[in-house]
Chains A and B, each alone.
Chain A
Amino acid sequence: METLLEPFAFEFFRNGLWAALMVGALCGMIGVFIVLRGMSYIGHGLSHAAFGGAVLGYTLNANFYVGAVLTAFFAALLIHQLSRGGKIKSDAAIGIVTTAFFALGVALISRVRQFTQSFEAALFGNILGVTSTDLWVIGAVLAVAAVGLFLFYRPLLFSTFDREAAAVFGIPTERLQVGFSLVLALAIIAAMNIVGVTMIAAALIIPAATARLLTDSFSAMLLVSTILGALVGVSGLYASYHFDAASGATIVLFGAAVFVLVLLYHHLRERLAVHEHLHYHDGIAHAHPHTHEGDHAHPHEVPASLAAPGQGAKGQGRSSETKVRYKKI
């Protein structure tokens, strides 16, 4: 018991634990929108851009955080503008904009040749060097994100689900996008010193992707992802102390392990749950209660050859007869 409680005696560990809890919750919350918008690599890209901005700020004798926040925010807007026209897809825009900023940071470092501790922490994370000022900054960002999300929950949900229709209905999608980019930039800077530039993408994506497997409700996904992010942050940090491993990496590994377990559960549920939906055997369509075990192993997708005109293989759930009902095993 004493061994288990041992780390709590140290202030640096207690600070780290608070930081992991808040950053985990923050990334879990924002990650839901990133995953559902299909922009999973935005976190990875913006953290690299922020790193470039931090180095630039440092060389101009400006504050580390100011340079990083401004660059990440500017990069987020630039990515949005570039991918708006449709000719350049968002993954390409992320790749171009963020690696250019990262390269700028690397070039400046190689020129100045003073690789300080703070840049090392930004790249690989240093959760055990968290100061009380860092905790206040992270707490403030978490509060801004949570209040913003509460107040703009409805327009954010609509524009994430269907941006074009939301704009037609009168939702200010452009202003929402700018606001979201700012919060995302702040979250990335808050997380940068904790999990490191190289691990931010995972901290943003894994809790949200895991939550998506567990629920079909947006509000539940948001709640589960936030709680999961916080729990994984805390347990990962705790494990990193006992295994004497890098904290950022341990947190991400913990998150990945939870994701694999949930994926297995999801897969088993899909296979073993008795359910009813329209499916096909040798071109014959029928629907009856069944599991996907044994001779009823079949995909849910409607084969392209049998789909209604215009549906293609994406015709899943589009026929007027399709019903899917899950019952507990």
Chain B
Amino acid sequence: MARPLIQLEDVSVGYRHRPVFTHLSLTLDEGRFAGIVGPTGSGKTTLLNTLLGTIRPHAGRVLIDGRPPGRTRPGEVGYVPQLETVDWSFPVTVEQVILMGLYVNRRWLPWPSREEKRRVAAIAEELGIAACLHHHIRNVSGGQQQRAFLARALINRPRLLVLDEPTSGVDIKTQHDVLHLLGELNRQGITILITTHDLNAVAAHLPWVICFNQGIVAQGPPREVFTRENLAATYGGELAVIDHDGHLLIAHAPAAHA
């Protein structure tokens, strides 16, 4: 039986006097590949930040493998931020971005050791970005940028990988490639949690989904969770669920015009 890797017990989080969610309990087992979906402002990113330890809950307990987020082994939790928050004019190459993942290990010299360079080359090779290691991060494609940040998160061989909207701001092929790659990583044993707005991508690629709107509306396999009722409770509007040749598709329900 899989053991829980993420545990939120009766957690309440808010900014100043405005609660984002209250009394939330959530357990995610080791080995899961799960996506959190919900409308803008539903608290998805706040939930992610709470379990990453960058936001402290007002009440309740957050545990990653039995320990509070700040007390995990360095590199045990890998994090890929939203690409749209990255400063693309910052003077760093793809190699330097990946190296940052190793900066959690204490080394007083500024330059990388041979071993560190070898590890960067190996992870870049694994993710197919070895050819662009010396390019400025701005001057590579969206897919390669996503892989560079993924490599930074993976270089310490994390047990948990958290990605904030990995499918936003990239074209549809890159979206597919990134989710396919995440599936591969999950099969290698890494527990993965992402937030996304793309319901169809979740339905096609992810085995587990959490519908979230200031609390958990439903969770489980997409085929069980993506019902008209659950989606209406999550998004507030009418969404149609279509089964097309065995593929689940989510679309806007036609509006009734007078």
Contact = CB atoms under 8 A, between A and B. Distances in A.
A21 B144 CA distance: 42
B110 A161 contact: no
B79 interface: yes
A153 B110 contact: yes
Given A154-B103, A160-B90, A323-B141, 18 more contacts: A150-B108, A157-B92, A161-B90, A169-B79, A170-B75, A170-B104, A216-B93, A217-B92, A217-B93, A221-B91, A310-B169, A311-B169, A314-B84, A317-B138, A318-B141, A319-B142, A320-B143, A320-B174
A303 interface: no
A323 B142 contact: no
A171 interface: yes
Contacts of B84: 310, 314
Contacts of B139: 317, 322-324
B166 to A, nearest CB: 12
Contacts of B62: none
Contacts of A168: 52-54, 77, 79, 162
30 contacts: A158-B100, A161-B87, A161-B90, A161-B92, A162-B87, A162-B100, A164-B54, A164-B81, A164-B85, A168-B52, A169-B79, A170-B75, A216-B91, A217-B92, A218-B92, A218-B96, A221-B91, A308-B169, A309-B169, A310-B84, A311-B169, A317-B138, A318-B170, A320-B142, A320-B170, A320-B171, A320-B173, A320-B174, A321-B141, A323-B139
A231 B250 CA distance: 63
Contacts of B168: 309-310
Interface of A: 36, 150-151, 153-155, 157-158, 160-162, 164-171, 212, 215-221, 308-311, 314-324
B145 interface: yes
Given A215-B91, A217-B93, A310-B169, A155 B53 contact: no
Given A150-B110, A169-B103, A216-B136, A318 B53 contact: no
Q: Report the contact-size class of chain B (Cβ under 8 Å from the partner).
A: 35 or more
Nearest to B92: A218
B71 to A, nearest CB: 10
Given A164-B81, A218-B96, A310-B168, A155 B103 contact: yes
A171 B103 contact: yes
Interface of B: 52-54, 74-75, 77, 79, 81, 83-88, 90-93, 96-97, 100-101, 103-104, 107-108, 110, 136, 138-143, 145, 162, 168-171, 173-174
Contacts of A219: 110
Contacts of A158: 100, 103
Nearest to B111: A219
Contact of B86 (A162, A217, A310, A319): A162
B81 A162 contact: yes
A311 B84 CA distance: 8
